[in-house]
A and B are shown apart, each in its own frame.
Chain A
Amino acid sequence: MSMLANHLSFAYKDEPIVSNLDFKFSSGEIVGIIGPNGAGKSTIIKLLSKVLEPSFGFISVDGIKISNMSRLDLAKKIAVVSQISDLPESFRVEDIVLMGRTPHLGFLSSEKEEDFKIVKAVMQKLDILKFKTRQIASLSGGERQRVVLARALAQEPKYLLLDEPTNHLDLNYSIELLRFLKREVTNGLAVLIIMHDLSLASQICDRIIVIEDGQLVGQGKTEEVISELLIKNVFRTDVKIIWDENNKISAIVPNI
């Protein structure tokens, strides 16, 4: 079971944003997308979640092209953890998380017993049940991030797409979030995550996709893809990679 991008291309007003991307990710793995700002990473998530339509190529999930699926059916399989800056302030935490049940409810019916149970479990798992009736406006960045993640998990997705989820988080929250994802993946979730922090990315991701100017410039197992040369070429910066005894990356530090 996997999600697949085939020759995926997208142009806006004849300006190519991403071109000819081929990749897939599957249940049980965390795949990271890295690349400099403006490389087209967020566009990939928008394409995968059908917010944008590809100008060429296609995307399929579990063998079905998403262009042939209704949004509701797609939302049963794919959930997106978007940037948290735009959450409506006056809604309460549980209102937002309950919205995650929409794909299973449709728009006309209201939540049933089952939905409340699932939502409660998710909130418990992310430790936000204690402030379920608080308004979004009163939450910190880290708390908001957990609310958005809870909403995505309430969708009970098989594929979870995250757009720089650690952006607004303190280090301890970032690590907590990544640990959480790691656990979910062992339960069968497939995770695609856009990451800014290369050290964190190389520690959490099973595989890495490198994007530069909308082109795919490398993909594969993290330790095979990430190299000092690649980072110099793609990010235009000199770094030193520190490897541990198991031949895993333990840190990427700038050469100052």
Chain B
Amino acid sequence: MKSFVISLVLLVFTIAFASDYPLTMIDDLGHEVVLNAAPLRIVSMIPSTTETVCALNACDLLVGRDQYSNYPLEVNELPELGNGFVPNLEAIVALEPDLVIVDESTDLANQLIELGIPVYAGTAQSFEEVFEKFSDIGKLINREKEAAFLSLKLRTDLVNIHKLIAGAEAPTVFYELDSTPYSVGPESFIGEIISLAGASNIVTADLGAFPKLDPEFIVASNPEVILLADAAYGETAESLAARAGWSDISAIVANKVFELSQDQVDTINRPGPRIVDALFLLAQIFHPDMID
């Protein structure tokens, strides 16, 4: 309820003070982003940002996207520009964008700055930061009101989901990124969603954000639910049961292994406007009797 009030206050605040250009903002690399006018040709090099821009009702301002952006469907029409590590720099430049939004961990931001193109570098690293990014991007692209509404709507949905699963017992869960097996820790973005959806991650914080687990540890932890983010790469409930010593794991015995589709994995992975969808999806899996 508290966050709801905060959002309401924010909404009033942003409506009172609409975007003003020229606009200056500091991004996650500490660079000053200066925009002289509302951007009309935006390139997004991050899938979650692509989703955010569209969710802010600015999909028509996008002129290009990274190769992994695939949601909403209409962005597939946009030219593909590589990814943050191996961008198609000249194709980006040729689009003459007035704003490029990139990940903060590659050298692409510096390169674009050198080419004189306005860049905002940053992605949400945590659940709460997702909302900060809505507001930042909203401000940058003159969609502040939309950003505030989006935040408000999502927070309301979150409260409702939270109510639905309140008091439910948290099942233990193992989230498999790949068959190595890599998993997610509680401090990763996915880990946060898992815990918000009312489950208890078998990975503890001290193991790190994306630990490679010892299979023995998984067998010993005996998770009640297993989520396969690698189902697209051929892992199934059957292949898990066939792994040495795994057949007795509760989740496998109780038939609680969930093969996530690529679209579901994208939804869970991306710190963007589909976080509520992700949360709802996981809550449904963890607490099938409380939601239907």
- Asked if chains A and B are in direct contact (CB within 8 A), the reply is no
Chain B residues in contact with chain A, CB under 8 A?
Answer: none
